[in-house]
Structure 1
Amino acid sequence: MNIDEIKKIPLVEFLNRLGCQPTGRDSKGLWFYAPYRNERKPSFHVNPRKGVWFDFGTGEGGDIFTLAGVMSGETDFLKQARYIGEKMDMPVAEPYRPVPFVEEPTFGNVEVSRLESPALLKYLADRGIPRNIAQQWCVQVDYELHGKRYYAIGFENNAHGYELRSSFFKGSYPPKHITHIADGNARCNVFEGFIDFLSAERLGLNDGFDSLVLNSVANVGKALTTLTDYSVIGCYLDNDVAGRAALARLKREFGDRVMDKSALYPDHKDLNEYLVATQPKISNNSKLKL
């Protein structure tokens, strides 16, 4: 199973696998004895339509992952997913594990300039990013790789490396690092990649807030020190196993200061996919003012 398949498992079916049967029903759902404690009167309620549960005896509640966490004692999202998979007799797909970055001197004759390439601006327009936002935060990087000349959209990180994107290339010019955009605010929004950050700029989600772009979920550890002083950390991470694992890591470190903002795009893989699906299409042939 992958993350989307786990979300579709009915809570009642999962409880059945845990040996729990409903004791009654009301207009909103079913009543059970709480599966993780002894009680004389059933106070565990499930709303099958919404896929959520609530324990009136303890005041706890949530979805299938929250219940798996209570049952297993695990706060790690991946371990909760494995617990569900074991109980349902369905193996859980392991998340993508990034290969450790190895800095190699393969880039040559690197030139950084203003982002003007029509092809690169069209690539961003197809992903919902207008020219004015793209040129504010990105540059054009021309480079040689294995003896051939290329160009790509560049997004600078804190170590002065660049994330590189084009219609045919996704990579990095070393060193790899996070990108922290700070203006002294109390809240910081966190994104996996810079396309999601640019999407948030178009949607107006970053107004008045600082931002941190991981540039890879493998960089979560590098972000912890930077995020320490923020009172609110809004996470716009991907709706996949790797994104959930990164969110769980941040919640372990910062607790209630972390806000999961993926509820904005529950039916989409990430914030950019949501932007493309919900906002008017644009053209970067002329300077677009939003």
Structure 2
Amino acid sequence: MAGKTKKRSCERDSGIEIPKGKKCSMCSGSAVIFLPYAGKFMCQRHFFRHFEKRFFETVREFGVVRKGETVALGLSGGKDSTTLLYLLTRLGAKLPFNLIAITIDLGIDCDYNRKILDIASESCKSLGVPHHVFALKDDIDCTLDELVAKTGTRNPCSECGVARRYLLNRHARELKADKLAIAHTLNDSAQTVLMNIMRNEPMRLFRYNGHLVQDEKLVPRIKPFLRSPEREVVLYGRLKGLKLLDKKCCPYSSYAFRSFVRDEVERLEKEYPGSMF
């Protein structure tokens, strides 16, 4: 995409509308969600069963976590990674493995950054997960704000993404992690596919398409949410009573190419339910 990146709206909600007066398609309970791709209303009990079944089947089918391994979760403090933290602790009760969380403090001077760092810390403390926080400034001698001011970049999200991936991998290696868990959802996967096509980078599709991404220079990355739509991830977290940041997002995300693609993917999914799958 050439030219200056257009700024898009930053504030978003989860896109979840609780069905009013609708009954679950499987029982007489009150529906908490409608799944357009399945044509079903679901109550809380059946939604939990549906969501957890998909999550645990993904882990089992692709062997993304094995007994005795150390798994490092890239925990931003956002809705997706906070929900994944909870589910990985649930998985640990069934399949013994060591779970740790890694958070990269980008040093963005805003209320959003402070809130997600607090959520990450509080979530790990409540779930008993060791939490390691590394500051971007300690690794590259500047915060993201300072980097943006210094380079004058039009696409801070790209530089941020590169820095975060590098630092997550570096510190996961230092902590001797066998796997690095990333909370990429089905939406993220669909967006990445469309972005690679629009950028005329089809070869990247082969590198991305998988629940386990391996490279000799990287700690193997696992994506247990790759079959889970974002709205279901968020609803699950909320219904479980997890502390999730609502609406606010990173002040730089409105400039991202992904922000535009995300809106298009959501429009297509609304028009043609199930297209993300």
| Shorter-chain TM-score range | under 0.3
TM-score of the aligned structures, taking structure 2 as reference length: 0.26
The higher-RCO structure (CA 8 Å, 6+ apart) is 2
Structure with bigger strand share is 1
